[in-house]
Chain A
Amino acid sequence: MKFLLVDDSKTMRNIQKKVLSNFPGAEFAEAGDGIEALSVIAATPGGFDLIMVDWNMPNMDGITLVKKIREKDAKTLLVMATTEAEKARVLDAIRAGVNNYVVKPFTPEALTEKINATLAKAKAA
């Protein structure tokens, strides 16, 4: 399972990595903002199974990144992981094409559950 973790905080990427390492065959790539994420995606021919996207990042924020990815890729699972929790923001993200939404702060159990739910829903679709 190939993950791309996009967050401007390396600490947050490490925390996500620790939790997601429990998924079978977990492999990771990382990016610190939307622009870096787009170049990592472009440089990864096989693509990713799931991309974790922070909202508040310098250079290019997460919502812009989600829209850019969805312009040409409807399939890769996108999970927003952010402190942004207002209904309007969540709806914006869903409209932009995220598959799921995790609000920071989260417990390891809550993140695992969200990812499991995202994978199960994708499998059922």
Chain B
Amino acid sequence: MSSTATSNAITPDLIIPFMNAVTQVFQKMVGVPATVQKPYLKTQTASTYDVCGIIGLSGQVAGSVVVSFAEAAAVNLVESFSGTRFKVSDPDFADAIGELANMIAGGAKQHLGGVASISTPSVVIGKGYAIAGMSDIPCVVIPCTSPRGDFAVEICIKRHKAA
């Protein structure tokens, strides 16, 4: 018998911390205000946009967080964040996308309750990136808008509750 029970419901207490983290990261470190829209359940496996920063969460809250940008938005927002306008192929561009994802996932983590660790970021650039192995977890998309372009935060996480 397992000593833990898993809750598959993705509830507001798992989503709101990410909405707040997006606002904080963009206000404090990108210098561009980001507005979060109404979250919706993700029904397709492909990522919302082409440029994705991915963070894994493990522990009492586990799964993945993907920050997905339209390419033009990614280039503009990385410029605001880093102070340099990079080509998508530049390693520094991926570095900046990864650190934005790191701060959004890390900023939310403290408010998710329970002990969890975050992975170092992976960055994937290309159309239709699909997140593998998440079929048992409902995913939520938080659409975000900013004056320099749109992006989305995709959360596929579940909570492991102590029995």
A18 to B82, CA, bound (A): 10
A110 partner residues in chain B, CB cutoff 8 A? 28
Q: Is the CB of B28 within 8 A of A83?
A: no
Which of chain A's residues has its CB closest to B117's CB? Answer: A56
Across the interface, A14 reaches (CB within 8 A) one of B82, B115, B118, B119, namely B82
Across the interface, B103 reaches (CB within 8 A) one of A8, A10, A58, A104, namely A104
Q: Is the CB of B110 within 8 A of A85?
A: yes
Q: 8 Å CB contacts to A: which residues of B71-121?
A: 81-83, 92, 95-96, 98-99, 102-103, 105-107, 109-110, 115, 118-120
B106 partner residues in chain A, CB cutoff 8 A? 56, 82-85, 104
A45 at interface (Cβ–Cβ under 8 A)?
no
B24 partner residues in chain A, CB cutoff 8 A? 105
Q: Which of A58, A84, A88 has the most CB of B within 10 A?
A: A84
B46 at interface (Cβ–Cβ under 8 A)?
no
Q: Is the CB of A104 within 8 A of B107?
A: yes
Q: Is the CB of B120 within 8 A of A8?
A: yes
A interface SS class: loop
Q: Which of B27, B99, B106, B107 has the most CB of A within 10 A?
A: B99
A23 at interface (Cβ–Cβ under 8 A)?
no
Q: Is the CB of A11 within 8 A of B120?
A: no
Which of chain A's residues has its CB closest to B31's CB? Answer: A107
A15 partner residues in chain B, CB cutoff 8 A? 29, 82
A12 to B100, CA, bound (A): 10
Q: 8 Å CB contacts to B: which residues of A59-117?
A: 82-86, 88, 104-107, 110
Q: Is the CB of B120 within 8 A of A57?
A: yes
Q: Is the CB of B110 within 8 A of A11?
A: no
Q: 8 Å CB contacts to B: which residues of A2-61?
A: 8-12, 14-15, 18, 56-58
Which of chain A's residues has its CB closest to B93's CB? Answer: A11
B25 at interface (Cβ–Cβ under 8 A)?
yes
A121 to B75, CA, bound (A): 41
4 residue pairs, one from A and one from B, having the closest CB atoms: A83-B106, A9-B99, A105-B28, A85-B110
Q: What are some 26 contacts across the A-B interface (CB < 8 A)? A: A9-B99, A9-B102, A10-B95, A11-B82, A11-B92, A11-B99, A14-B82, A14-B83, A56-B102, A56-B120, A57-B120, A83-B105, A83-B106, A83-B109, A84-B109, A84-B110, A85-B110, A86-B110, A86-B115, A88-B115, A104-B106, A105-B25, A105-B29, A105-B107, A107-B28, A107-B29
